[in-house]
C-alpha cells in the first residue's frame, strides 16, 4: 500500500503528469494556448516510431521469446472480449442506447498507445524491464474490439456492413503501421541501429512526451468543457470502473503467460486503457449515429487521466506484488 | 470574357468520410474537385476545433466541385448516398466558368 | 434531388476576432458555421501571409454560414456589430441546400 | 441591411503560380483578395494531396476576390493571362456585400 | 568599453544572431524560404516550456528568494509606467496620432520573451547566473502596459471598454499560461524533474533558438520590406531610443531590488524589449483603428534586432559594471 | 566487389533505408499514415540547416582549400552538361515528347539534397571524411540544369522566356538560401559555434533523417501508386541508367580535381542524383505543358530509391577503389 502511494505521488509530481494537468487547466480556463495540429501529429509520429523501435531492439537483444505468439493471441482475445463485458456493464450502469453503449464498449477493448508509452516510462524510471514485444501486442489489440462492437450491434438486428474499405482503414491505420513498422526496423537493426539514432529516440523521449501530454491535456480539457455535460454519473463511474476491470483481465492473462513483472504491468495497462484514435475514427464511419461526445469525452477526458495518474502506479504495484518481483 | 454556366457544389463532410465521398463522386462522373481544410465549426452535433487533435474522428473538410449543370443531379445523388447518415452540409450555387471544355 | 433555397454568408475577419464573431452569430440564432483557414491576402490595410507567424495579431479566417433566407438579416446585423470597426469582408450568395431541416 | 451587388471570383491555381497571379490582379486594379489553402484534389491532370510534400511543384491554392461587377472583365483578363497555359479553375458567382466602399 | 565591444562582437558572430540575419536577408531578397506557421508555433512552445521550466527548477534549487514578490511588483510597475514615458516621447519625436502613439507605447511597456531567452543564453555563455524567477517577472510584465495604453486613450475622451473577454484573453494568453505553468512544473519537480528531461530542454536549446530566430528574421524582414516605408525617421529613432530609456529604468529597479548581476541585466532586457505577441493581438481587438504596420514593424523590425545585436551586450556590460561583479 | 556487397547490405539494413522502405510500403498498401506538410517542411529545414552548418564548420577547420573554386565550377559544368546527355538518352531510349524529355533532363543535371545527406551519413558511419565545401557545390549544382533544359526547348523553336521572376525564384530558392546561409554561418562561427549547437544539429541528425525518409517514402510510394503507370519500361530503365552515367562524370570530375575519397564519392552522388524540389517547381512555371507525373515519379519514385539503396554504396566503393584510399 505504501509502495502504491509513493509510486502514485512520484507519478503525480512527474513533469509528464504535470504537463498534462497544465494542459487540462489551460483548456478549462479557456486560455488560447494550443499546439498546432501538425505539431501534435509530428509528436505522435515521433513517439510511435521511438516506442516501436525500442521494442524491436529489445526483442532483437533478448532473442525471440516463445511467448510472443501467445501474448499476441492473448491480446487479441482480450481486445475482442472486453467490449462484451463493457457493453453488459454499460447496460446495467447507464441509460445509454444500444448504439452508444456498443460504441463506448469498442473503445475499452482497444488500447491507448500514449497510456502505454507513459507506463513504459514509469517502468523505466523505476528500473523495471519488460518484454520488448509488448508493443506488438499493443498493435494487435487495436482492432479486434471494433469487430466485437459491430457484432453487438448486428445482433440487435441492426445490420452494419463492415465494408472492405473500413477493414483496410482499421488494419492499416497510420498508428498501427508506424508502430509495427518501427518495431520491425528496430528488430532488424538491433542494438547497432539503436546506437545510431539513440540521441534522437531515447535521450529526448521524456521531454517530447511532456509536450505531447500538454497537448493531450488541452484536447481533453476542451472536450470536458464542451462535452462534460453529457456524462451522467453512471457513465462517469463506468469510465473509472471499466479500466479496473480491464486491468484485472490483463493481470490474469499476464500471469498465465508468465510474463515478467513489467510485462504483466503493461498487459494490465493495455487492457485498462481506452482507444481515442483508431476506434473513434472507425465509429464515425461505421456507427455515425452514435454520439461522439460520449465516447470521446469518456475515453480521453475520464479514463485516460485516471489511468495516467492513478491507474498506472496501481497496476505496477499490483503486478509487482503478484509476480513477487 | 466568354464564360459558361456551371454549378459550384460545396460539401462539408467529416474528414474521415472524405475518401468515400470523392470515390463516389468519381464514380458518378465528376471529373474534378478540390478539398479545403476546415479549422473548426459548430452545428447541431456541437462545436469542434482541429487544433492539437491527432485523431481522425473529429473535424470536417470541404469538398468543392464545379460541374456542368446537367451533371448536378448525378453528383447530388452520389454525394447524398455518402452523407446521408452523416453530419455535414451540401450547398449548390450557380456560377460561371472560364474554359468550359474542362468540365 | 429536392433542394431548398438558402443563403451562404462568407465573413473574412481577423483571426483574433473569430470567437467574438461566432459568439455573436450563435446569439443571433445561427445554428451552424464552419471556419476556414486563410493563408494570406491583401487589402486596403496591406498584404499579409501567415507563414512563420506565431502571433495572433495578423491573419484572417473565413467564417461560412449557410442559413435560411429569413434569418439573413439577423445574422448580418450580428456580424456587422462585430466587424464594424474591423477590417474584413462580408459577402452573401444565394444557394440551394439538401436536407433543409438542418438549418 | 443594405447590401450591394458584387462578384465573387474563385481561382484555383497551382501554388507556384500564386504570386504571379496576385501580381497580375493587383496590376489590373484588384484591391483585395484572400488566399485559401487547398489540401488536395483531382482533375484532368490527376489526383494530388499536399500531406508530407516539401516541394512546391505540386498543390493548388484558391485565390478569392470580391469585386465590383464593372471590374470583373479586367480581372478575368488578367487572371486568364496567367492561368492560360496552366491547370486550374476560374469560377464567378454573383454576390452581395456589406460596406461597398471597400471594393 | 572594450568588454562591451568583445561581448558585442561575440554576440554578433554567434550562430543565433547570424541565423536571425540570414532570415532577414532571405526575406529582403524575396527568397521563398519560409518556416511553416505550425513549425514556428511549435518552436515557440518548446522555448517557452524550456525557459519556464528551467526558471522554476532554479527557484526550487536556490530556495524562495524574498525578493520574488518585490521583483514581480517592480515588473508590474515598470510595465505600467513605461508606456506613459513612451507615449510622451512619441508625441514629441513623431507625428503619430494619439491612437497610434498609445498602441506603440503599449508594446514598449510589455516585453518580448525571445529577447529575454536570447539574453539568458548570452548570460549562460558568459557563465553569469541569474534569479530563476525572472521568468515569472517576464510573465507579470506582459499585460499591465496594455491597461496603461487604454487608459491613455480613454483620457483623450475616446472611451474604450475593456470587455471581460479581452481581460481573459490577455491574462490567459497562451504564452503567459505556458511560461507560468512550466515555471511551476519546474519548481515542483526541481532538479530531479530537470534530470529526466534535460536532454530535451537543455541540450538542444540553443540550436532550436537558432531555427526560431531564423524564422523571426524571415518575419521581421518581410515586415520591413512591406511596412518599412511607414516608419518616418522620428519613429525609427524612437525604436532605438526607447529601449535604452527602458533599460535605464530596468537598471534602477534591478539595483534597488538588489538583484544579482544577471538579474539586473535581465531586468534591463525586459524593460528594453517590446512585445510582438500579446500586445499586438490586444491592440487589434481594442484599438482596431491603430495601424498595425507601425507597431509591428517598429517592435519586430527595429527594436527587436537592436536589442538582439547591440542592446543585450550593452545591458550586460552596464549591469556588470554597476553591480561590480 | 565483396566490399560493395557488405556496404550495400549494411546500407540496406540501416534504420534510414528501412524507414524509407516502411514509408513506401505504407503508401503502396494505402495506409493513411502521413506526415503533416508542416512537419515535413520543418524536418527538411532542420536537415538543410544542419548539413550546411557542418559543411561550413569543416571548411573553417581545414582552412580554405584552393579547390573550392574549381569544385564549384566543375559542379556548375556538370549540372549544365548532364541534361544534354540525359536528353539525348531519353530521345533514344523512350518515346517522350521533346518537352517531357527536356523537363526530365533538367532534373538529372540538378541534384537531390537528401541523397547527398544520406551519402554523408553513410560516409560518416564508415569513418570517411570529405571536403566541407561539397555542400556549396551541391547548392551550385541546383540551378544550371534548368537553363540547359530551357535552352534545349528554345532550340526546338519553342521560345520560352525565362522571366526575371523565375530567375530570382530559382536562385533564391528557399533550400539554396538555407543551405548556403547555414554554410556561411558555420564557416564564420567555426568549431566554437558547432560546440554550442551540436547537441541539436549533430547528435539527433540520423534520427531526424529516419523520420524524413519515412515521409519521403510515403510521398514516393503515393507517387508510384498513382503515377507508376505512366512510366514505360524505357523511361524506367533511364531512371536507373542515368544516375550511373551521371556518377561516372562525377567520378571523372572528382578525380581530376584531386578530391579526397569522400569528396569523390559525394561528387558522384551529386551527379547521379535527380532534383525533386527546385527543378519540378521551375518546370511547373516554365514548362507547364510537360507532364509532372513523369518527371516527379521518375525522380522521386525510381532514381531516388535506386541511389539511396544501391547507388550510394556503389559510388563509395568505386571512389574508394579509384582513389586508392
Ligand atoms: N449552417 C451551416 N453553415 C456552415 N457550416 C455548417 C452549418 N451547419 C453545420 N456546418 C458544419 O458541419 C459540421 C457538422 O454540422 P452538424 O451536422 O449540424 O453538427 C459543423 O461543425 C460545421 O463545421
Ligand atoms: N475584395 C476582397 N476580396 C477578397 N478578400 C478580401 C478583399 N478585400 C479584403 N480581403 C481580405 O481581407 C483582408 C483585410 O482587408 P482590408 O480591410 O481591405 O485590408 C485582406 O488582407 C484580405 O485577406
Ligand atoms: N471541376 C473542378 N472543381 C473543383 N476543383 C477542380 C475542378 N477541376 C480541377 N480542380 C482543381 O484543379 C486541379 C487541377 O485540375 P486539372 O487542371 O483538371 O488537372 C485539381 O487537382 C483540383 O484541385
Ligand atoms: Na483496453
Ligand atoms: Na519593455
Ligand atoms: Na544530378
Nearest chain B alpha carbon to A277:
B55
Q: Measured from the CB, is residue D17 less than 6 Å from ligand 3?
A: no
What is the per-residue pLDDT across A110-144, written as a single tens digit (0 to 9) for each?
999 999 999 999 999 999 999 999 999 999 999 99
- Top residue of D16, D46, D54 to mutate, by most chain F CBs within 10 Å, is D54
The cell numbers describing E187, all together, are 519548481
| Three-state secondary-structure class, residue E291 | coil
Q: A119-145: string of b/e by CB count within 10 Å (b at 16+)?
A: bbbbbbeeebebbbbbbbbbbbbbbbb
Domains located in chain A, CATH noted = 2-26+34-323 (1.20.1530.20)
The count of CB pairs under 8 A between chains C and E is 60
Nearest chain D alpha carbon to C14:
D34
With 90 as the cut, is the pLDDT of residue B99 above it?
A: no
What does the pLDDT profile of chain A (325 residues) look like in tens digits? 677 777 778 889 999 999 999 999 999 999 999 999 999 999 999 999 999 999 999 999 988 778 899 999 999 999 999 999 999 999 999 999 999 999 999 999 999 999 999 999 999 999 999 999 999 999 999 999 999 999 999 887 766 666 788 888 899 999 999 999 999 999 999 999 999 999 999 999 999 999 999 999 999 999 999 887 888 999 999 999 999 999 999 999 999 999 999 999 999 999 999 999 999 999 999 999 999 999 999 999 999 999 999 999 999 999 999 997 5
Task: Name the β-bridge partners of E215.
Answer: none
Mutate to test the pocket of ligand 2, among C10, C12, C16, C48 (most ligand atoms within 8 A of CB): C12
Radius of gyration over every alpha carbon of chain E, rounded to an integer in angstroms: 19
Q: How far does E34 lie from chain C, in Å, by closest CA? A: 6
| Residue D88 Cα: closest atom of ligand 3 | 12
Cα-to-centroid distance, F126 and ligand 6 (Å): 24
Which carries the bigger pLDDT value, residue A280 or residue E325? A280
The count of CB pairs under 8 A between chains A and E is 93
Find the CB nearest E41 among A15, A39, A208.
A39
* Touching chains, F (3+ CB pairs < 8 A): A, D, E
Q: Which residues keep their CB under 5 angstroms from ion ligand 6?
A: F 111, 271, 273
C86 touches chain D (CB under 8 A): no
Q: Do D97 and C80 touch (CB under 8 A)?
A: no
B66 touches chain D (CB under 8 A): yes
The cell numbers describing F108, all together, are 538529372
User: What residues flank ligand 1, with Cβ below 6 Å?
Assistant: B 12, 41-45, 48, 60, 87-89; C 32-34, 64-66, 102-103
Contact E114, E213 (CB under 8 A): yes
Q: Measured from the CB, is residue C36 less than 6 Å from ligand 2?
A: no
What is the per-residue pLDDT across E84-102, written as a single tens digit (0 to 9) for each?
999 999 999 999 999 999 9
Q: A46-60: string of b/e by CB count within 10 Å (b at 16+)?
A: bbbbbbbbbbbbbbb
Find the CB nearest A200 among F22, F29, F206.
F206
Categorize the per-residue pLDDT at F311 as very low, low, confident or very high, splitting at 50, 70 and 90: very high
Distances (CA, A) of A71 to A33, A137, A263, C23: 41, 7, 10, 52
Cα-to-centroid distance, D98 and ligand 1 (Å): 24
Contact F79, F73 (CB under 8 A): no
- By the 10 Å C-beta count (0-12 exposed, 13-18 middle, 19+ buried), A229 is classed as exposed
In this prediction the ipTM stands at: 0.97
Mutate to test the pocket of ligand 2, among C13, C89, C91, C93 (most ligand atoms within 8 A of CB): C89
> How does the average pLDDT of chain C come out, rounded?
94
Distances (CA, A) of A110 to A222, A253, A276, B45, F188: 23, 16, 9, 25, 54
What is the per-residue pLDDT across E38-48, written as a single tens digit (0 to 9) for each?
999 999 999 99
Q: Measured from the CB, is residue D60 less than 6 Å from ligand 3?
A: yes
Cα-to-centroid distance, A108 and ligand 4 (Å): 4
Give residues with Cβ within 8 angstroms of E19, minimum separation 6. Answer: E210, E211, E213, E214, E217, F182, F185
Radius of gyration over every alpha carbon of chain F, rounded to an integer in angstroms: 19
Nearest CA to ligand 3 atom 16: D43
- By the 10 Å C-beta count (0-12 exposed, 13-18 middle, 19+ buried), B26 is classed as middle
| Closest C-alpha to F142, from F119, F174, F164, F120 | F174
Query: Is this prediction's pTM over 0.95?
Result: yes
D92 touches chain B (CB under 8 A): yes
Find the CB nearest D97 among C36, C43, C91.
C91
| Three-state secondary-structure class, residue A275 | coil
Neighbours of A45 (CB within 10 A): 23
For residues E197-218, give the mean pLDDT.
97
Within 8 A of E47 by CB-CB distance, chain F residues are: none
Extract the residue ranges of chain C whose pLDDT is less than 50.
Answer: none
Q: Do B35 and D40 touch (CB under 8 A)?
A: yes
Categorize the per-residue pLDDT at F167 as very low, low, confident or very high, splitting at 50, 70 and 90: confident
Domains located in chain D, CATH noted = 4-102 (3.30.70.120)
Chain Cα centroid distance, residue F85: 18
Would you state the pLDDT for residue E162? 67
Would you state the pLDDT for residue F321? 94
Within 8 A of D42 by CB-CB distance, chain B residues are: 22, 26, 32-33
Distances (CA, A) of F100 to A302, E13, E295, F108: 58, 47, 50, 13
- Give the torsion sign (CA, E68, E70, E73, E75): negative
Which residue blocks in chain A are alpha helix, DSSP H?
2-12, 15-28, 37-62, 67-93, 98-109, 113-125, 134-140, 144-155, 164-171, 174-201, 205-227, 233-257, 261-272, 278-286, 292-296, 304-306, 312-323
Of the bound ligands, which one is closest to the alpha carbon of residue B58?
Answer: 1
Cα-to-centroid distance, C34 and ligand 1 (Å): 6
| Residue B67 Cα: closest atom of ligand 3 | 1
| Three-state secondary-structure class, residue F290 | coil
Nearest chain A alpha carbon to B20:
A165
Within 8 A of B54 by CB-CB distance, chain D residues are: none
Would you state the pLDDT for residue F230? 82
Find the CB nearest A172 among F31, F35, F38.
F31
Of the bound ligands, which one is closest to the alpha carbon of residue C38?
Answer: 2
D81 touches chain F (CB under 8 A): no
B61 touches chain D (CB under 8 A): yes
| Closest C-alpha to C84, from C11, C30, C19, C32 | C11
Cα-to-centroid distance, F34 and ligand 6 (Å): 28
Q: Do D89 and B96 touch (CB under 8 A)?
A: no
Q: Do D57 and F281 touch (CB under 8 A)?
A: yes
Amino acid at each position: 500500500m505504501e509502495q502504491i502511494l509513493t509510486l502514485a505521488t512520484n507519478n503525480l509530481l512527474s513533469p509528464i503528469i504535470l504537463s498534462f494537468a497544465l494542459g487540462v487547466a489551460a483548456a478549462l480556463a479557456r486560455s488560447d494556448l494550443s499546439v498546432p495540429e501538425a505539431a501534435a501529429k509530428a509528436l505522435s509520429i515521433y513517439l510511435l516510431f521511438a516506442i516501436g523501435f525500442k521494442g524491436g531492439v529489445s526483442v532483437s537483444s533478448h532473442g525471440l521469446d516463445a511467448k510472443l505468439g501467445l501474448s499476441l493471441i492473448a491480446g487479441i482475445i482480450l481486445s475482442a472480449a472486453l467490449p462484451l463485458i463493457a457493453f453488459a456493464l454499460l447496460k446495467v450502469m447507464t441509460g445509454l442506447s444500444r448504439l452508444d453503449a456498443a460504441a463506448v464498449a469498442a473503445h475499452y477493448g482497444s488500447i491507448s498507445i500514449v497510456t502505454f508509452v507513459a507506463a513504459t516510462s514509469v517502468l523505466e524510471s523505476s528500473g523495471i524491464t519488460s518484454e520488448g514485444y509488448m508493443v506488438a501486442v499493443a498493435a494487435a489489440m487495436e482492432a479486434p474490439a471494433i469487430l466485437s462492437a459491430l457484432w453487438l450491434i448486428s445482433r440487435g438486428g441492426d445490420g452494419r456492413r463492415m465494408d472492405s474499405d473500413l477493414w483496410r482503414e482499421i488494419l492499416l491505420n497510420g498508428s498501427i503501421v508506424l508502430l509495427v513498422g518501427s518495431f520491425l526496423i528496430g528488430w532488424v537493426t538491433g542494438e547497432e541501429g539503436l546506437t545510431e539514432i539513440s540521441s534522437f529516440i531515447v535521450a529526448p523521449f521524456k521531454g517530447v512526451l511532456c509536450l505531447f501530454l500538454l497537448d493531450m491535456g488541452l484536447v481533453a480539457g476542451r472536450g470536458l468543457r464542451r462535452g462534460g455535460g453529457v456524462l451522467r454519473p453512471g457513465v462517469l463511474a463506468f469510465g473509472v470502473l471499466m479500466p479496473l476491470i480491464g486491468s484485472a483481465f490483463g493481470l490474469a492473462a499476464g500471469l498465465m503467460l508468465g510474463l515478467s513483472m513489467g510485462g504483466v504491468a503493461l498487459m494490465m495497462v493495455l487492457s485498462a486503457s481506452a482507444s481515442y484514435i483508431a476506434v473513434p475514427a472507425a465509429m464515425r464511419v461505421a456507427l455515425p449515429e452514435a454520439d461522439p461526445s460520449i465516447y470521446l469525452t469518456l475515453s480521453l477526458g475520464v479514463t485516460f487521466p485516471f489511468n495516467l495518474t492513478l491507474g498506472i502506479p496501481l497496476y505496477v504495484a499490483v503486478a509487482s506484488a503478484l509476480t513477487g518481483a | 470574357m466568354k464564360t459558361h454556366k456551371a454549378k459550384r457544389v460545396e460539401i462539408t463532410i467529416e474528414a474521415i468520410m472524405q475518401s468515400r465521398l470523392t470515390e463516389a463522386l468519381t464514380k458518378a462522373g465528376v471529373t474534378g474537385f478540390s478539398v479545403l481544410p476546415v479549422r473548426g465549426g459548430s452545428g447541431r452535433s456541437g462545436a469542434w476545433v482541429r487544433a492539437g487533435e491527432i485523431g481522425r474522428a473529429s473535424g470536417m473538410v470541404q469538398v468543392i466541385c464545379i460541374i456542368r449543370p446537367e451533371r448536378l443531379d448525378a453528383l447530388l445523388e452520389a454525394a447524398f448516398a455518402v452523407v446521408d447518415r452523416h453530419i455535414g452540409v451540401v450547398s449548390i450555387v450557380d456560377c460561371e466558368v472560364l474554359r468550359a471544355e474542362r468540365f
